[in-house]
Amino acid sequence: MKNVAVIGAGTMGNGIAHTFAQSGFRVQLIDVSENALKKGIETITKNLDRMVSKETITEAQKKETLSNITTFNNITEGVEYASLVVEAATENIDLKLKIFKQLDEACPEGIILATNTSSISITQIASVTSRPDHVIGMHFMNPVPIMKLVEIIRGYNTSDEVTNTIMDLSKTLGKIPVEVNDYPGFVANRILMPMLNESIETLYNGVAGVHEIDTVMKLGMAHPMGPLQLADFIGLDVCLSILNVMYEGFKNPKYAPCPLLVNMVRAGKLGIKSGEGFYDYSESRKAEKIAKQFQ
């Protein structure tokens, strides 16, 4: 298994492509948007440059990693030689089902189809393919090149052979795989998202301000980042999407998104990606642009 296709060149997709390429795999990075592919490669290059400056890798290793990545904007062409496909598109069930139907038609029999979904049912995704035993969840954490954990999620029909293969493969990437079962949110987001949602509820109810809530959790609970800042980093739209999946899956009101979160997403305040969420990132972005002019 030396050829891996990654669907989606966004934050998770380019991070997954970077990780496989740095481990010596030939990577086909696929996205319908040429601009997304360009930005994805730029991000990978910047991250590799940072690793070179920290002497984590050499300049030669950086060049080799980049040479291992080829970009495509057509799924059929991109997966032609792949032994494994990892889908890392937007956390949208309709989009993922569409992609997996395409993958099932384009990929030869026996190819493993993995999804980086952080909450959507693996069994449901597998149901639109003719190979449900070869569909599995491979949930990387962000930032992918740094974070060690990979949640490996078995669908109802995922075979032992496929599960063992992906567990072993994750270890070759220097990751620590943890096998979990197929329920909404799996383990990571089933625990994390209610905490973030409750933090937003605490703000919404006027118990304390943004800075105060984050400070309590950082200093009192030894969290490296406050929950509201973390939500900004994840993307408030992503948080809302995951909570909706969990609420629909369990029909339990404890997973219902806070009205404040819903309104912020409607208003386009999505966190870092939009320049504003619970914190205002516009000034830091301006500073970055000014700094780049003198580099």
Greatest CA separation found in the chain? Answer: 56
CB–CB of 19/25 below 8 Å?
A: no
Question: What is the model's pLDDT at position 288?
Answer: 52
**12-60: pLDDT as tens digits:** 999 999 999 999 999 999 999 999 999 999 999 999 999 999 999 999 9
211 catalytic? Reply is no
Catalytic residue among 47, 83, 116, 189: 189
pLDDT band at residue 282 using 50, 70 and 90 as cut-offs: confident
- Nearest residue to 196 via CA among 241, 129, 248: 241
Strands 84-87, 69-72: pairing is unpaired
pLDDT at 102 over 50: yes
Catalytic residue among 47, 68, 118, 170: 118
pLDDT band at residue 1 using 50, 70 and 90 as cut-offs: confident
**211-237: pLDDT as tens digits:** 999 999 999 999 999 999 999 999 999
What pTM value is reported for the model?
Answer: 0.89
Question: What is the model's pLDDT at position 285?
Answer: 59
H/E stretch holding 241 reads helix 236-250
CA 66, 17, 141, 235 torsion-angle sign: positive
* Amino acid symbol at 201: E
Catalytic residue among 18, 134, 139, 199: 139
**52-74: pLDDT as tens digits:** 999 999 999 999 999 999 999 99
118 catalytic? Reply is yes
139 catalytic? Reply is yes
pLDDT band at residue 284 using 50, 70 and 90 as cut-offs: low
Report cis status (omega within 30 of 0) of the bond before 143.
Answer: yes
CA 4, CA 25: separation in Å to the nearest integer? 7
CA 213, CA 199: separation in Å to the nearest integer? 7
